[in-house]
Amino acid sequence: MNQILGQIRGKTVERAEQILPMVPRIAAGVVAKTVHSAAANLSSRLGHKVDSKNLWVKSAWVGQGPMQQLKRIQPGPMGRAHPFKRKMCHLTVVVSDGKGV
């Protein structure tokens, strides 16, 4: 996830939305939805429609999410069960209407 975020930091939202479909990672779709949502939230807070050419991805980071609740079992040889923890992350994208990166 961090590799994808490194490609869009400091770019306009329009450029980030062009880059993300080309990235060959499954998480690129989730990042694209988050960037689009952050831009929509900013225009909602400002009270008027803002062009995505004027919005910048100010910062974007990912943090580790909870792993205690999602304990899963993977089948093992001879009928055994191998436990593993399903990994999660918290994705944060900050969008600004100025280039203050």
Tell me the CATH number at 59: 3.90.470.10
Amino acid 31: pLDDT = 96
What average pLDDT score do residues 25-42 get? 94
Q: Of the spans 64-68, 70-74, 91-95, which averages the highest pLDDT?
A: 91-95
Among candidate residues 38, 45, 43, the one with its CA nearest the CA of residue 13: 38
- Expressed as residue numbers, the domain containing 43 is 2-96
Total number of domains constituting the chain: 1
7 in any annotated domain:
yes
DSSP SS3 for 68: coil
Q: How far is CA 92 from the centre of its chain?
A: 7
Contact 99, 64 (CB under 8 A): no
